[in-house]
Structure 1
Amino acid sequence: MSRDGAVSPGGVSVLEGRYRRLLRVLPAWYRAEREEEMVGIFLAERAEGPDADLDLEHGWPGWGEAWATVDLAVRVRFGAARRAGVLARVVALAGVLGHVVAAGQGLGSVVRFGGGWVWWFDALVAVAVAGVAWRQWAAVKAAIGVLGVHGLLVAQEPWALVPVVLSWVTVVALVLGWHREAPSVPRARWCAAVVAGLVPGAAWGLVVPLSPVAFGVAAAVTTGVVVVVRPWRAAGSPPR
């Protein structure tokens, strides 16, 4: 779609070219089906008013349009039946369970060896766990994100960045894999996974004080829980 005086050397308006570049965040197969329709809708909304010609020559896609397009790209690329989506959801749930194991370790260590109870850490982990069970993904992302930010601010030794990396990998996987079109996690299976992560974590904390080695073992325990319990398995269609 173009107008006199508002076209690029390629024969389309500058604004249209920018919309088409924005749509490249979508998969090629999706663009082949919907690109012309979407560009037409975008341009139709900008073609009214006294400054329409100027807009076609110098305008940019709006922030709302850009955000909606990126959100659509995430939902399409990491959909319920897409292999990338399944992988992202596995990583995200494993990360949340990793925080559950860490919370269990902390509680066990406080009971056995004393020290201060980091109650806010456990509270945020509880919010994340409940958010998964009740499909409140914004709460899950926010809770794990706060843990990641706090860990980054207070880390003083290189090994202390291990839980920070876990938090941020989990947040990224949550953003990519758990959106409004993602499948639900069966509540009973999720609760079983949480218990299976919390109990070994607490037992380990009763035996060994918190340390980098203890956290490494916790990561191994979490991996075992994820592999055995697989709380996401009944949550959607087979990957393709």
Structure 2
Amino acid sequence: MTTLLEARYRTVLRLLPDYYRREREEEMVETYLWDVDQETQEQSRPTLGEVASIVALAVRSRLGAGGAPRRYAVLGSAVRLFALFAVLLQAASAVAERVLGLTWVSTRGGSQWAMFTDGFTGHGAWAGAGAVAQWFFPLLWTVAYFALLRDHRRLAQLSALVAALPTLWPLVDLWARDFAPSDSAYVVAAAVLAWASALALCAAHHRDAPPAALPAGAPGLVFAACCVLTGGSVVALPGGVDTAWALVTCYLVTALAWLLYRARGAHRVPAAEAAALAALGLLLLVVRITAVYPWLDVLPGVLRVGVLTQAAALVALTAALAVVSGRDLLSRGT
């Protein structure tokens, strides 16, 4: 006879994928009920710790744990690659933005440098601490990138979570106001991009996952190339770019180069890589649109053409990557 506690355990275990439940459910239920007497089983429920461990196991088993069916293996690989690509992109953007900013203020005379330092020291201790954190925390995307590729997963996860924190402060500021500023949608989109990257890294790069690796290229060279692309896109149009310009430009160039490299000759385009880049492209499209839409009517003509071209290229490239990924999955019967 099934007791109430056993029924509750089985309900929670439904979070696990079918293949895992078929193999392990009975064993897990027996383990949970091993030293619980019959009377207690009619009055108890799973503890929060047990539920949390089952949720964590459900995430690991759905994201490509050992012995998972191919569809789960592909999903896990795609999420891991999405996290790696997104962290790389934001790391390069953070470094390039700060290098260009420091170069600008240090070469424009004492007044520009004074304005820069005043942002950290001229508004009180708490405001100064917040400004310092907003400036330095995004640099931890770089730590997360290299730590992940060296298989220091805990360091990578912690660094990514801290690097994403500054995107929450504009949200708090937004909620504290009685009106919605024109860039509110962009603030939300930027936070979604950062936290999707950090949480994907934490969820998919679990202890049962294979070590992270770039599909091609040495980690340092790839990072340097992304920094050059990101910074160069700003230098090419000084004063004529918005907050999403460099990020989107770097993605478009690298994703297109990857697609052409993988598709040449008889090479098969891996579904997981294409799906990861398509998901990242979709998020960047939202960032691109929300960053420019409120100001579209007042943008200079050249910049308006540039951002609209970026948006169109994102749509086309993301759709192409999604088609490539879907075609590979169908051809392999996933």
Q: TM-score, normalised by structure 2?
A: 0.57
Indicate which of 50, 70, 75 corresponds to 1:65. Answer: 50
**Aligned partner of 2:3: which letter?**
S
Matched, 1:225 2:254: yes
2:244 corresponds to: 215
Q: How does 1:68-79 map to 2 (within 5 A)?
A: 68-79=53-64
- Across the aligned residues of Structure 1 and Structure 2, the Cα RMSD in angstroms comes to 3.2
1:91 corresponds to: 82
Aligned-pair CA distance for 1:62: 2.3
Mind listing any 5+ residue stretches in structure 2 that lack a counterpart? 106-115, 118-131, 175-182, 260-269, 271-327
Q: Deviation string for 1:115-136 (max 9, x for gaps)?
A: 4696513541232123212222
Aligned-pair CA distance for 1:32: 1.4
Partners of 1:70 and 1:23 in 2: CA distance: 9
Partners of 1:183 and 1:192 in 2: CA distance: 22
Partners of 2:240 and 2:81 in 1: CA distance: 26
Aligned-pair CA distance for 1:137: 2.2
Partners of 2:157 and 2:256 in 1: CA distance: 23
Count of residues in correspondence between the two structures: 221
Higher RCO structure (Cα 8 Å, ≥6 apart): 1
Aligned-pair CA distance for 1:54: 3.8
1:104 corresponds to: 95
Give 3-state SS (helix, strand or coil) of 1:25's partner.
Answer: coil
Q: 1:13/1:194 Cα in 2 relative to 1: closer, same or farther (>3 Å)?
A: same
1:181 corresponds to: 208
Indicate which of 220, 227, 232 corresponds to 1:198. Answer: 227
More off after superposition, 158-167 vs 18-27: 158-167
Partners of 1:203 and 1:15 in 2: CA distance: 61
**Aligned partner of 1:160: which letter?**
V
Check the 8 A contact 2:16/2:58 in 1, yes or no.
yes
Q: How does 1:95-174 map to 2 (within 5 A)?
A: 95-114=86-105, 115=116, 120-155=136-171, 157-158=183-184, 159-174=186-201
* Percent of matched pairs sharing the same residue: 26
More off after superposition, 194-203 vs 220-229: 220-229
Aligned-pair CA distance for 1:208: 4.6
1:3 corresponds to: none
Q: TM-score, normalised by structure 1?
A: 0.77
Partners of 1:215 and 1:111 in 2: CA distance: 19
Give 3-state SS (helix, strand or coil) of 1:151's partner.
Answer: helix
1:21 corresponds to: 11
